[in-house]
Amino acid sequence: MDQAAPQRFVFLDGLRGWAALAVVLYHIFCDGFPLNAWAATELRKFVPFNGMIAVDTFFLVSGFALSVKFIATGERSGLLRMAVGRYLRLAIPILVACAAVHLMLVTGAIPPAAERPPPFDSVLAFEPDIGHLLRFSLYEVFVSFSFARTYIGPLWTIPIEALGSVLVLGTLAVVGRRPWRWAVYLALLGPLLAVGSQQALFVMGILLAELHAQRWQERLPPWVFVASLLVGCGFSFVVAWANTAESLLGVTAFCVGCIGWAPLRRILSGRLSAALGTLSFPLYLAHGPMMFAVGIPLTQAAGGDPVLKVLAGVAVVGLSVLAALPLISVNEFAIRLARRMGRVVTNPGLRAAMAGR
């Protein structure tokens, strides 16, 4: 997320928002409460239910958003502002969401592991205490994530996001806007693709931001982006999604189509997409706990009735959205504080005073 840019690329927020919704649909209808064996294995091939495409899209969008202003202006102080604020921007919503889960565990709103069906009995099995909450939310989630200690399962992406942010901001700080920067991007991208590292997507995000600054979406014919979108959407029907070079290129093709094709970019910039963008991180944080608190009892009450089970899943989606709404203000506060801290640290007067001291 671009914390310092006055111009907002709303289509990025929209893409992030729809990706967050896809993660929710995947976790509810494919992973946590599948209707049947077919749904558990086949439904995830479709983009709206493909959690891996969605998560990988987050990473590429982060690379794009973190780099797009610097590519346009070359202002290194903006990189420092984002680097300073990045931790606060992520840590504050994570701490609040994990604290809510902690309270749900303490009060019994989320039952003990022994009383939960598989696979929900394998996580949140620890004895909650404040020390654990603070250590995990403020430190472990960024550098040593563990499913055995996490309050929210989807937070496994945060160490990747944190490292990717360092990679993007550090790379831009080194190469600046020099002509040979493309060689550096490709030198980074090649090995990361070869080992199937999701860090490659952050570099892809830089490359797409560079192309966007050169108005590639206007120079190439629309069919190029439509074809790229179709490749990205159809990839999971041909190859099993995994952390491989092929999969990373597949999600890149998907994002190229979303960003480059004007009609879809307009949809991603619309009101509904913008609203989902605002909700994206809160929804990402809220839906896991809601699956434990309301998803388990609702699906148990549905029994084997397929209609009731689908309705239960739809209800969990709706309740997850409602649970995410209070986190919007927390998320926006974190963004404002991150920006303020970034401005303070990069203030010339403060730096001069520190140097004089």
Average pLDDT over residues 136-152: 96
d(CA 208, CA 182): 12
pLDDT of 169 strictly over 70: yes
Mean pLDDT, the chain, as a whole number? 91
Give 219-277 pLDDT, tens digit per residue.
Answer: 999 999 999 999 999 988 887 777 788 999 999 999 999 999 999 999 999 999 999 99
- Cα gap 235→47, rounded to integer Å: 10
User: CA–CA separation, 274 vs 287, rounded Å?
Assistant: 19
Q: Residue 125 is encoded by which pair of tokens?
A: 């099995």
Residue 13 confidence (pLDDT) above 60: yes
Task: Say if residues 209 and 68 touch (Cβ distance below 8 Å).
Answer: yes
pLDDT of residue 239: 77
Tens digits of per-residue pLDDT, 87-128? 999 999 999 999 999 999 999 999 999 999 988 999 999 999
Tokens 């040593």, located at residue: 144
**According to DSSP H, which parts of 108-244 are helical?**
130-135, 141-143, 158-175, 181-194, 199-213, 216-219, 222-238
In the predicted structure, residue 4 carries a pLDDT above the cut 80: no
- Using DSSP's 3-state secondary structure scheme, residue 6 falls into coil
Q: Please answer whether residues 256 and 295 qualify as being in contact, where contact means their C-beta atoms are separated by less than 8 angstroms.
A: no
Could you give the CA distance from residue 247 to residue 259 in angstroms, rounded to a whole number? 18
Q: Residue 120 has what pLDDT?
A: 93
Contact 141, 93 (CB under 8 A): no
Tell me: pLDDT of 142 over 70.
yes
Q: How confident is the model at residue 343 (pLDDT cuts 50, 70, 90)?
A: confident
* pLDDT-derived band at 357, boundaries 50, 70, 90: low
With bands split at pLDDT 50, 70 and 90, how would you rate the model's confidence at 61?
very high
Average pLDDT (165-185) is 94
Which residue type occupies 83? Answer: A
Confidence of residue 3 (pLDDT cuts 50, 70, 90): very low
pLDDT at 333 over 60: yes
Section 17-24 average pLDDT:
97
Show me where the domains of the chain are located. Answer: 10-338
What type of residue sits at position 15? L
Percent of the chain with pLDDT over 90: 79
The pLDDT tens digits of the residues spanning 32-57 come to 999 999 888 999 999 999 999 999 99
First-residue to last-residue Cα distance in the chain: 34
**pTM tops 0.75:** yes
Residues in the chain: 357
Question: pLDDT at position 1, please?
Answer: 37
- Peptide bond connecting 119 to the previous residue in cis, omega within 30 degrees of 0: yes
Q: pLDDT band at residue 354, thresholds of 50, 70 and 90?
A: very low
Residue 8: is its pLDDT beyond 90?
A: no
What pLDDT does residue 77 have?
Answer: 81
| DSSP of 188-210 | HHHHHHHTT-THHHHHHHHHHHH
**DSSP SS3 for 67:** helix
